[in-house]
Amino acid sequence: MHWWQTGIIYQIYPRSFQDSNADGVGDLNGIIRRLDYLKSLNIDAVWISPIFPSPMHDFGYDVADYCDIHPLFGTLADFDRLLAEAHARGLKIILDLVPNHTSWDHPWFVESRSSRDNPKRDYYLWRDPAPGDGPPETRLPNNWQTHFGGDAWTYDAHTGQFYMHQFHRSQPELNYRHPEVLPAMLDNMRFWLDRGVDGFRVDVIWLMLKDEQFRDEPPNPHAAPDARPFDRIEHIYTASVEGIHDIIRQMRGVLDEYDERMMVGEIYLPVEQLVTYYGDGDECHMPFNFQLIQLPWDARVIGDYIRRYEGALPPDGWPNWVLGNHDQHRIATRVGQAQARVAQMLLLTLRGTPTSYYGDEIGMEDVPIPFEQCMDPAALQQPELFELWGRDPERTPMQWDDSPNAGFTVPEATPWLPLAADYRTRNVAAQENDPASMLNLYRALAALRRAEPALNRGDYEEVDLGQPDLLAYRRTWPGSDGFLVILNFGSVEHRLDLRAVLNESGGEVALSTNPERIHGDDIDAFHVAPKEGVVWRSNGR
Ligand code: NOJ
């Protein structure tokens, strides 16, 4: 087994984790300061969202130099220190690679846009205006749309052509049909791997290749009448385009030049397509599985999905699960505090690598941000979808303690996004000493997972307890204790006869999400409280 299989990944949004230089934005020295905290969570790897030089139009997902550190976050020397200090504590570091697009400030794009005959012109996707009347800037090359709302083409008057982008206009997309582009990106990967980085989370990996003929995308027959233009077309020429798997195989080849490195691909696709990104064990080590974010919080729906996912995985495809990230509303806001505890139990007891989002371990919630204070380019571009789509609410500063600015930054500084109103009560310091806190539940679950082969590598078997609001499953590993996990997604108590399920084996409750659990371990009258999750240890099986 590899570290990225048995371990837990923890995502840090660096702007919001810990500020060390009083500018209101988190940085690398801040992360170093918090490494002992990270270690105390019993996690194994830290994925840091982009820290490279960038004009920050998309908060670092617009990279202007792949081989340096943004001064806002520190220096390469700070990064090397972070890596050394993390490794000294047994923590891996995963960087965010953004190969689909660069910033418009990247020297490649600066050259590319300088003239039509610049040698780097075709590093990007340039197209003439469509034939016809009207000003050239209105004659779009085709109907492609951006994920952030608006046309995927921006007109550049200087050279009289459009360039393509599926996100913000400051994120021009690279042309992976140009023979020099992929080798250059592979060298960027080697730069960090040579420094000792343990792997990459790869941004929108399934979008990296576009239709060679730039054909219009067809209408989406399933689109709602009021769907936004992006959702009214089917993305068959901008996503999962034929040839993408060859590119990913070459990226994987670079990782395989080194020992024990990994890549996890950001891919939003239905499960049957998602699993093709494992390749034959020669593409992504893991394509992110985002279904716990996308599905309704319903025991049956999630149980069905786990079965479907397990069934779709290729023979050596290692599963993974994600509860939240910097693009999605926080789990505690989506399902409430009690169910958020159940959700952590689910995440940390399923088969496959869990990825946790910073702050979820203390139950941080979305912070409402008024439109006037909105930072997120995706929301600014689609004001009508701001409430639904804005990504600032899940990106607010980490709540460390009850001091002014929550210990995220000094009291005199202004955090780049506002703090949660409840930070004085919901923070790490307050939860440290409370045995019933979400933080200590998280630590206990992560410790149990680490200690128990059944949980960190064992088999998964669903168990039907005959109640639609209960999700139950068994985790087993030969020669080790087995576990029965029972999660109550509902609001009524259940009294269960577990004798048949447990086959009379001995055991006891190892963990409950309910700190006041008063019920004992009677397997013929086993109580599961409303919104309670329980991990039962079966001795020796
Ligand atoms: C996915 C990232 O997670 C998101 O934050 C970003 O805006 C887009 N890719 C574009 O890089």
Map tokens 């109907």 to a residue. 143
Model-level pTM?
A: 0.98
Short-list 474, 524, 456, 539, CA closest to 1:
456
The pLDDT, as a whole number, for residue 388 is: 85
H or E segment and range at residue 356: strand 353-357
The CA distance from 378 to 44, in Å, is 32
Residue pair 407/379 in contact by the 8 Å Cβ criterion: no
Measured over the CA atoms of residue 244, residue 250, residue 253 and residue 255, the dihedral's sign is negative
Which one of 257, 272, 434, 524 is the catalytic residue? 257
Closest-lying ligand 1 atom to the alpha carbon of residue 167: 10
**Which tokens sit at 62?**
């617009």
pLDDT, position 286: 98
- Per-residue confidence (pLDDT) for residue 305, from 0 to 100: 98
Q: 473: which 2 tokens? A: 């499953």
Q: What is the structure's pLDDT at 504?
A: 67
Q: Residue 322: CB within 6 Å of ligand 1?
A: no
Q: Report how far apart the first and last C-alpha atoms of the chain are (Å, whole number).
A: 21
Tell me if 185 sits within 8 A of 203, measured CB to CB.
Answer: no
DSSP string over 165-194: -SS-TTSPBB-TTSTTHHHHHHHHHHHHHH
Q: Is 206 in the pocket of ligand 1 (CB under 6 A)?
A: no
pLDDT given at position 110:
98
Instruction: Please identify, by atom number, the ligand 1 atom nearest to the C-alpha of residue 101.
Output: 11
Active-site option among 203, 310, 392, 469: 203
User: Which pair of tokens denotes residue 154?
Assistant: 């921006």
Q: Helices then strands (H, E): number in the chain?
A: 18, 18
Residue 271's identity, in one-letter code, is V
DSSP string, 80-102: HHHHHHHHHTT-EEEEEE--SB-
Name the residue of 16, 48, 51, 58 to mutate for ligand 1: max ligand atoms within 8 A of Cβ: 58
Amino acid code (one letter) for 493: E
Residue pair 402/428 in contact (Cβ under 8 Å)? The answer is: no
Q: In sequence order, what are the residues at sequence separation of 6 or more whose Cβ sits closer than 8 angstroms to the Cβ of residue 189?
A: 97, 200, 251, 254, 255
Burial of 459 (0-12, 13-18, 19+ CB in 10 A): middle
Specify whether 58 is catalytic: no
Q: Tokens representing 413?
A: 């500084």
Q: Whose CA is closest to 314, among 337, 290, 338, 282?
A: 282
Q: From CA 399, how far away is CA 307, in angstroms rounded?
A: 36
Rg value, the chain, Cα = 24
Pick the atom of ligand 1 nearest to 62's CA. Answer: 11
Question: In degrees rounded to 5, what are phi and psi of residue 426?
Answer: -100, 95
Does 203 contact ligand 1 (Cβ within 6 A)?
yes
**Token pair of 319 as six digits:** 């599963």
The whole-number pLDDT of residue 385 equals 86
CA atoms within 13 A on the CB side of 220: 19
Q: Is 392 in the pocket of ligand 1 (CB under 6 A)?
A: no
Residue 468, token pair as written in the block: 């639609």
Strand, coil or helix: 484: strand
Please indicate whether residue 58, judged by its CB atom, sits closer than 6 Å to ligand 1. Answer: yes
Q: Is 257 a catalytic residue?
A: yes
Joined together, the tokens standing for residue 146 give 């951006």
Residue ranges in the chain whose pLDDT is less than 70: 504, 540-541
Q: Give CA–CA dist 171/163, Å, rounded.
A: 10
**pLDDT confidence of residue 384:** 87
